[in-house]
Amino acid sequence: MIQTFKVKHPGLLSALSRCYSLNSPILKSDLETKRKVTMIPGDGVGPDLMESVKEVFRNIGAPINFEEMHLSEINPSMSVSFDDVIESISRNGVALKGNIRSAQGMYLDDMQTLNMRMRKSLDLFANVVWISSIPGLKTRHDDLDFIIIREQTEGEYSALEHESISGVVESMKIITRAKSKRIAKFAFDFAVKYGRKKVTAVHKANIMKLGDGLFLNCCREIAELYPSIKFTDTIVDNCCMQLVWNPWQFDVMVMPNLYGNIVDNLAAGLVGGAGVVPGQSHSNHCALFETGARHPFAEAVGKHIANPTAMLWSASNMLGYLQLPKYQKMIKDALFKVIKDGKIRTRDMGGYARTKEFTHAVISNIEM
């Protein structure tokens, strides 16, 4: 039996109530009024993937108007103002984003990447990546279905570092009680909403006794408010081993920023790689949809070989968030049918299809 509880942060539950809402009613106003969504193509194959999304949306008549804004860290001359992008997302409340490639190396003028600045400016504290096996796509492990929830506004992944003396770099890791409890509550709310039975906190509290110890204690405190949900915890290195050996033991996982970045990508490899895993990030007032494994795939630029599955799936989830489940289901059903049929597959799925060929196969399988 699912317990009821008082929501301390209404914005969290509001965001969760729109995630993956296949059972949400289609409102007449939703069908008549087009919603404006910020689109950020990003770098690498991002623009190609966004073309796939736009083509599919046009073919199903999705009531969405994209406000396209090009933002780039490696090509600043072709980029719009960062502030303009933040204003657009704040105004529209929803964004679809390709990965923005980060400049690398020491002594950069700004240590924070545009991806990090965007998450902090919008307070996109909760990143959700759904790891799910796709019928027809053969991988080492079958029937996987678990969720990785990552706090993404603090921790090591914050670019708080400096060279104190020549040859000595200090990197700061900041963990706060407020943000640790907030992400823990988001994870448990998510588990309740989707009928999940267990939440596992991933940490390194055996070594980082204060920082990760605080995160773990916050998760334990929140767990006490949800007696119907089993709570466990695991050290991050053991977590990686367990994911490869026995991933079926996991249900909902919650973790600090850096661990989430690593575990997301490891888990994506279990179900077919970066090209097939959707993701999304939430604040109390907006949501951003993107691929679950953040990789610009720069080496594929101009080759038209990128797999649009993850981006189409993320765009489909975005439609569910916007309470347009009819359109969400059209895309998801067609996408899974193409993969299950196995006739049209991109190279990462063992085939030879190009991005447009795969996209057209999805469109031809859409049932209106």
**C-beta separation of 362 from 331 below 8 A:** yes
Give yes or no: residues 263 and 356 share one domain: no
The pLDDT score that the predictor gives to residue 110 is: 59
All residue ranges of the chain with pLDDT < 50 are 1-15, 17-31, 106-108
Residue-range definition of the domain harbouring residue 352: 8-125+274-368
Phi, psi (5° rounding) for residue 95? -140, 150
Report the C-alpha gap between 139 and 22 in whole angstroms: 27
CA atoms within 13 A on the CB side of 355: 24
In total, how many domains does the chain have? 2
Report the C-alpha gap between 101 and 44 in whole angstroms: 7
The pLDDT score that the predictor gives to residue 159 is: 78
Cα separations (Å) of 71 from 35, 96, 108, 175? 22, 13, 18, 29
Give yes or no: residues 115 and 200 share one domain: no
Residue in the block written with tokens 């990686």: 240
The pLDDT score that the predictor gives to residue 296 is: 54
| Three-class secondary structure of residue 234 per DSSP | strand
The pLDDT score that the predictor gives to residue 76 is: 76
Give yes or no: residues 210 and 284 share one domain: no
Q: What is the CA radius of gyration of the chain?
A: 20
Domain CATH number, residue 262: 3.40.50.2300
Report the C-alpha gap between 212 and 296 in whole angstroms: 30
> Which of 216, 246, 270 corresponds to the end of one domain?
270
In a domain, 133, yes or no: no
In a domain, 1, yes or no: no
Sequence-separated (6 or more) residues with CB below 8 Å from residue 142: 133
